Every structure is written in structure tokens, then in C-alpha cells.
Amino acid sequence: MSDALVAALEKQEEIGGEVAVQGSLTALVQTHALSIMQQPKPDFSGIDNEEIRKYQGTVQGALNNSAENAGHYLWTVQPESIALLSRVENYFVTLGALSESLKDEQDPEALVQTLRYLREQAGEFTDQTRKVASSTDRMVSAFSGDKREFTECAAKINALVGGESGILGDLRRDLENVNSKITAATIGAGVSGAAILGGVACIVIGCCTSIFTGGTSLAVAIGGGVLLLGGIGGGIGSGIALANLYDEKKNLLVKQERLESGVKLLTACSAGLADLGTQAGGVATALQNTTNSWTFLKESLNSAADNIEKAGRTESDFLRKTFLRAIDRSLPRNLEQLRNTRKALIGMETVSQPDTHTGDLIRFQLQKPPRLAR
């Protein structure tokens, strides 16, 4: 008869960690979105090839669309996600208060009422999380469309100048491969799994490289953002590894001399947008998983309440004590995860120097004394 209650308690503990991780992953998307907002517009007026000059409006339109989508994420979708994290934190605070009230309560009906209240809360969180997941899914589609637009434009300009499509494809794959390594290094530093625990986060927006096009040097800011974590073991080592990876990305673009500069610019932007879509997809998946968890919790709490109503006083008292022991054990950890993640997201410092290479900015930040979490 205690199976439903045990299942509910286990799932409830898991949800605390899931929501903290989901909140942390939004910081990765925020980093990429901010880099888009910092991207300077290219000027093709100095390019001799008239056919390429005609693409200036297309390229600037693509950048405008990307910036609009990034802004919508930053100003609408991410705040929804952070607000959801805060509401879940309040759920666990309330859970602690309810468990305290049950410690000296002998009436089985009190536990039943508590479980039914938590069931209603779980139902509301199912709906709220599903809504944020849907908003994030739409952003994934928008970012994918932006990436496709840059990729197609790069291919067309490359064809105009007689560039080799194989070399272009290789560059795109190499850039996306480095971006995957950067994500893995960031997550390995503590963004996923352990969420942003015990420290603060800093977003650094630099540039992947500068490309000489149309008679001027243009910084490639898209894909030049990185999330640095403070207050965690190995922070310096992971920061150096990230700086080296941005050096690798820069070298890929600088050393590739067989592609027209505008093509390299668009390909770098395309790779950055592909990575943004991947990170947003990770958030959407995490949100969907949490939606499923809330649904399971709601059903388990309902079954547990029904079972306790049917149980005798002795068994009900045993279940009450089981409930209290589980909350006493798991609640501090859940609250720590949620609070630290929320504080890190709200207290995030942003260093934006889009004309400076990201690797150099990372090294400069690593020389600073670590900030204390707020």
C-alpha cells in the first residue's frame, strides 16, 4: 500500500534536480542569444563583385531575423523559464512547512489533505511546464530557420565566386565540431548534472575571429559567447580548455584561404546558430521530461492519498512517518539546487567586447579574483 507514496516521494526528489538542471541549461542558450545581439552588420559595398553586393540586403535581413528571435528568447521565453524555477522553489518551501505541520498530527486525514494539495500543485506545474516547453520548441524551429538561411546564402555566394562546395562543407562541419567540444567542456565544468552549484556564472561575449570583407574588418560575434562558472573545482582548468577551443575555431577560419571572406562569415554565423538551436533543443527536451515527471507525480500522489484513506490508523501513521523521513532527507538538497541555480541566473555578470577574440577574453577573466555568490 505504500508503493504509490514511495514512488511519489522518489519522483518529487528527482523533479527538484530536473528543474535546477533545466534552469541551468537556459544559461547556455542565453549566452548564444546574446552573441547574436552583438553581431555587427556586414557592409558589402566595397566588394568588387556586383552579384555579391546584391546579397547585402539578404544577409542583413537574415541577421535582423536572428536578432529578433534571439531577443524574443531573452525577453520572453527565458524569463518564463526562470519564473517557473522560482515557483518550483516555492513548492519545495511549502512542502517543508507542510511536513513540519504533520510531525505531531495523528489524524490520517491531515496527510490525505496534504497529498491532495500537492497533487493539485503538481497538476498546475504540469500545465505551466508544458507551456514553457512549447515556447522553447518554437524557438528551436526559429533558430533552425535562421541557421538554414545563413547556410543557403553562404552556398549561393560560394557558387558565384566559383568556390569549392566540398571545402565549404568541410569548414561548416569543422566549426560545428568545435562548437560541440565547447559545449561538452562547459557542461563538464558543471552546467548540467550538478547544475550551477556553489558558485556564480559569467557570460563572456567576444568574437570567433575578424574577417576582412568589403574593405573593412568585421568581427564574427555569433558563436563567440561562452559561459564561465565560478566557485567550482577545476574552474581554471576548464576555462583554459575553453579558451584553447576558441583559438581552434579562430584558426579554422583564418587558415581557410580558399573561400571568399563573405562565405566564411556566413558559414561561421551558420555554425553558431546551429549550436544555439542545439542548446535550445536541450532545454526543450529537459522541460518535456519535467512535464512528464509532474504528470507522474500527480498520479502517484492521488493514488497515495486514496490508499491512506482506505488504510487503518496504524498503517496510516507508518506512511506519515515514511513521508516525513523522505522529506527531511531530500528537501535540503532540492532547495540548495534550486536556490543556487536561481541566484546564479539572476546574478549573472555579462562581459561584452565583441571586437575582442573570445579566447583572449576568457584568459583575461581567469586572471580576475573569483566573485562570491550573491
What local confidence, expressed as pLDDT, does residue 266 receive?
92
Angle at Cα 219 formed by Cα 363 and Cα 274, nearest 5°? 85
Query: Looking at the predicted structure, is the pLDDT value of residue 244 above 80?
Result: yes
In CATH, what is the architecture of 3-366?
A: Up-down Bundle (1.20)
Please name which of 255, 274, 266, 251 lies closest in space to residue 179, comparing C-alpha atoms.
274
Residues 6 or more apart in contact with residue 219 via CB below 8 angstroms = 40, 207, 209, 210, 354, 355
Query: Looking at the predicted structure, is the pLDDT value of residue 25 above 60?
Result: yes
Q: Report the DSSP pairing between strands 349-357 and 201-207.
A: parallel
Domain coordinates of the chain in residue numbers?
3-366
Query: Looking at the predicted structure, is the pLDDT value of residue 371 above 70?
Result: no
Q: How far apart are the first and last CA of the chain?
A: 45
Q: What are the pLDDT digits (tens) for 2-13?
A: 788 999 999 999
Q: What's the mean per-residue pLDDT of the chain?
A: 88
**Position 106 confidence tier, pLDDT thresholds 50, 70, 90:** confident
Q: Indicate the Cα dihedral angle 309, 311, 317, 322, nearest 10°.
A: -90
Q: Indicate the Cα dihedral angle 79, 224, 212, 164, nearest 10°.
A: -100
Element of type H or E holding 345 = helix 313-346
What local confidence, expressed as pLDDT, does residue 192 receive?
46
Question: Mean per-residue pLDDT for 295-320?
Answer: 90
Q: What are the pLDDT digits (tens) for 200-237?
A: 678 899 999 898 776 778 899 999 998 887 543 345 66
What local confidence, expressed as pLDDT, does residue 191 receive?
53
% residues pLDDT > 70 (the chain): 92
**Position 288 confidence tier, pLDDT thresholds 50, 70, 90:** very high
220: three-class secondary structure by DSSP:
coil
What local confidence, expressed as pLDDT, does residue 234 receive?
41
Query: Looking at the predicted structure, is the pLDDT value of residue 238 above 80?
Result: no
339 within 8 A of 195, measured Cβ to Cβ: no
What local confidence, expressed as pLDDT, does residue 214 receive?
65
For the chain, the farthest-separated pair of C-alpha atoms sits apart, in whole angstroms, at 88
Fill in the amino acid letter for 94. Answer: T
What local confidence, expressed as pLDDT, does residue 300 receive?
96
Query: Looking at the predicted structure, is the pLDDT value of residue 363 above 50?
Result: yes
Angle at Cα 74 formed by Cα 69 and Cα 77, nearest 5°? 85
Give the cell for residue 209: 575571429
Element of type H or E holding 69 = helix 56-72
Query: Looking at the predicted structure, is the pLDDT value of residue 22 above 80?
Result: yes
Most confident of 32-46, 69-83, 153-167: 69-83
Element of type H or E holding 357 = strand 349-357
Element of type H or E holding 206 = strand 201-207
What local confidence, expressed as pLDDT, does residue 66 receive?
96
264 within 8 A of 171, measured Cβ to Cβ: yes
191 within 8 A of 27, measured Cβ to Cβ: yes
Question: Mean per-residue pLDDT for 186-212?
Answer: 69
**Position 322 confidence tier, pLDDT thresholds 50, 70, 90:** very high
Q: How far apart are CA 24 and CA 187, in angstroms?
A: 10
Residues in the chain: 374
The answer to pTM > 0.85 is: yes
245 within 8 A of 178, measured Cβ to Cβ: yes
What local confidence, expressed as pLDDT, does residue 189 receive?
55
Beta bridge partners of 213: 216
What local confidence, expressed as pLDDT, does residue 199 receive?
52
Numbers of helices and strands, H then E, in the chain: 10, 5
